[in-house]
Amino acid sequence: MRKGLQNLDTNENNNFKIIAVDDEEGIIDSLSIFLKRSGYKFTGVTDPMEAIEKVKNEHFDLMILDFIMTPIHGDQVVEEIRKFNKELYILLLTGHKDLAPPLETIRRLDIQGYCEKSDKFDQLLLLIESGIKSITQMQQIKKVNEELKTTYEMLENAYLESIQTLRYTVDAKDNYTRGHSDRVSAYSVLIGKALNLPEKDIKTLEIGGLFHDIGKIGVPDSILLKDSKLTDDEYSEIKNHPSIGAHILSTASIFNDIIPIVKHHHEKYDGTGYPGRLKANNIPYLARITAIADSFDAMTSKRTYRDSLPIEVVVQEFEKCKGTQFDPQLTDIFLDILKNHYDKIQEIQEKYK
C-alpha cells in the first residue's frame, strides 16, 4: 500500500461512500478489503443493472466501474446514470488499454478517469485519492452555495474567494506555480488585447489564467513535489489536473466561461494534447491563447532541473512549434509581442516575480 494512503484519516474517509461495479466477484472482494480497511463506506455490486438502481436510490460519492460486463458494458451504465446524476465521480476499469472506450465517449459521459486492472491497484489508488480530494473541494463549494443563497453578489464573491483560496493552496505547495498563474493570466490578457478581443473575452482570459491550474489541488503531493523523473502512472496523474479543475469549477455557473480554458489549456493544435486530444479549431479559442501563455511562462521560469530559457531560444521554440503545438495565427501575434513589445512582457515578469 502506498505510504500516502496509509496516512489518510480513516475516520475522515468514513464520510465517503464508494460503489464498485464489476462482474468478477474476486475484484469486488479485493476492493472491499482495501477500501473498508482505509475507512471508506463500500458497496460492491456484480450486476450492472442493480448498480444503476442503487445509484438512483442511494447517495454515493465515487463509483469504480468495470468496462466489459454483461448484460451491459460500463459505458452504457454511465449513459443511464448520467440521465439522472451528473455529479457522481466515476473511475472506469479496463482489462486492457485496447479495450477502453474511445476518448470521445469518456468526454461525453464525463468519466473522470480510467485505468487498466492490476493486482497492485497502484494507479487506481492514485485516482481514488485524487477523486476524493476533488469531491471534498466540490462539497466545500456547494456548502458555500447553500449558505449564501441570499443574493447573487454575495454568492459570486464567496465563490471567487473560495477558488482563490484553492489557488493559493496550490501555489503554497508547489514552488513552481508561485506567481505562475498570475503571469499566465497577464500574458493571456496581453495576447487578447493584441487581438482586439471584446472586454468580456479579456475578462475570461484573465480569470481563466488565474485558475487554469486549480486542478492540481487534486494531484497527490508526493507526485506534485517529486524532484526526480515521474513514472508513467505519475505522469498520467499529472495529466488529470485539467479535468479535475473543470470538475471542481463545474458546481458554480459563474465559472462556466472559464471551464473550457481550465479543461483544455494542454490541448495541442495537431491533436496530440490532453485531456481530449482536440485538434485545431475544435480547441476552444481562449484555451488556445492560454496554452501559449502557459507554455511561455514554463519556458521562462526557473525549474529544479534547468534554468529559464533565453528569449532567443523561446522565440525559436514558438516558431518551431507553430501549427503543431500552437495555433499558427495566435503564435504569430505572440511572436510579434516578443519581438516588438517585449517591454510589456518584462513589466509582467517584474510585477509577478
Q: Is the dihedral angle over the CA atoms 83, 84, 88, 92 positive or is it negative?
A: negative
Q: Which residue among 216, 263, 268, 322 is the active-site one?
A: 216
C-alpha cell at 264: 483544455
C-alpha cell at 183: 503571469
Burial 108-123 (b: 16+ CB within 10 A, else e): ebbbbbbbebeeebeb
Rounded Cα distance, 214 and 166, in Å: 7
Task: Give, in order, the Cα–Cα distances in Å from 301 to each of 178, 265, 297.
Answer: 11, 18, 6
Amino acid, res. 293: A
Active site includes 216? yes
Rounded Cα distance, 335 and 319, in Å: 8
Q: Which long-range contacts (CB under 8 A, 24 or more apart) does 220-226 make?
A: 220/4, 220/126, 220/129, 220/130, 221/4, 221/173, 222/2, 222/3, 222/4, 223/126, 224/173, 224/174, 225/173, 225/174
Rounded Cα distance, 165 and 12, in Å: 22
3-state secondary structure 262-323: HHHCCCCCCCCCCCCCCCHHHCCHHHHHHHHHHHHHHHHCCECCECCCCHHHHHHHHHHHEC
63 DSSP β-pair partners = 19, 90
Rounded Cα distance, 30 and 13, in Å: 18
Q: Judge whether 81 and 88 are in contact, CB under 8 Å.
A: yes
Task: Give, in order, the Cα–Cα distances in Å from 172 to each of 54, 180, 187, 297.
Answer: 40, 12, 22, 18
Backbone angles phi, psi at 286, to 5 degrees: -70, -30
Catalytically annotated residues? 216
